[in-house]
Amino acid sequence: MYPMPIEKWRPASRTFYKISVPIALLIWLLPMLAVLVTSVRSADELAMGNYWGWPKDVSLIANYRDALTTSPMLHYFWNSVLITVPSVIGAIALASMAGFALAIYAFPGNTLLFAVFVAGNFVPVQILMIPVRNLSLAMGLYNTVWALVLFHIAFQTGFCTLFLRNFIKQLPFELVESARIEGASEWRVFYTIVLPLIRPALAALAVLVFTFIWNDYFWALCLTQGDDAAPITVGVAALKGQWTTAWNLVSAGSVLAALPSVAMFWAMQRHFVAGLTFGATKG
C-alpha cells in the first residue's frame, strides 16, 4: 500500500500546525514572558498591584542596573564561572577517557562497569544530600568553590560517560586498528583519531552539562553558606527580602543569570544539533 500523496494531506496538516504550534509555543514561553515583563516593571506599579497588566512605566535599564549594583550579583556571577568551567572540563575529560576504554577495549568486567554507569544515573542525588554535606565538612571543603566543583565532576561524569561511550561505539573500529598497525600508541589513537570524530558529541555534551551546573540551586544551597562561594542561582534568591520582595529586581536578576546558558547554546548550536543527531540515520 503506497503512502498518501503529499497533495492530499498538506491542507489538513497546515491547519494542524497553525493551531498546535502557536499554542505550544505560547505555553512554553509564558513563564519567560512573565519574567521579562516583570523585569522592566517599576516598583511603584508592583506596589499598586499591577502584576499582570502591561507595564505603564517601562524601565528597560534601571532594574538591571539596580540588580547589579545594589547586590553582589557580579560576585555571584564570578563564583558561577569558577564552579561551572572547571566542572564541565573535568567531567568531559574523565568521561571521554572512560567512554573510550569502555567502547574500544574488551576487558573482563566491561559490561558490568557500563551497567554501573547506567544504574548510577537513576539514583536520585537528593538522597545523598546529608552524606555529601558531611563529607565536605570532614574534608574541610564546605562553603568553598572546590566543594561544588568536585561534587559536579563526580556526579556528571557518569552521565557523560554513558553519553560518550555510545557515540564512540558507533565509530568504525577499522580506524583504530589501522592506527595501531601504523604504530600509534593508545593515547595517540585517543587524541588524534577518536576525539576529532566525536567533536559534535563533545560540544552537545558541553552545552548540556554547562546548563545543568550553571542552573544548579539545590546543591549550591546545601554546600555553601553566605556569599563567599555562593553561585548566581543562590544570589538571585538572596534578592528576596525578609518582609517585602522587589520582584522586578528578582526578575531582572533571573534574566541576567539565564544569559550565559542561552549564549552558550547559540554559540554551540550547530555542533549541538549535529551531536544529538549523530548516527541517527545509520542502519
C-alpha cell at 97: 577517557
pLDDT at residue 210, rounded to an integer: 94
Q: Which residues of the chain have pLDDT under 50?
A: 1, 6, 9, 243, 280-283
pLDDT at residue 175, rounded to an integer: 86
pLDDT at residue 212, rounded to an integer: 92
pLDDT at residue 30, rounded to an integer: 82
- Give tens-digit pLDDT for 63-115: 888 888 877 888 999 999 999 999 999 999 999 999 999 999 888 888 898 88
Model-wide pTM > 0.85 = no
pLDDT at residue 133, rounded to an integer: 92
Distance from C-alpha of 43 to C-alpha of 278, rounded to nearest angstrom: 49
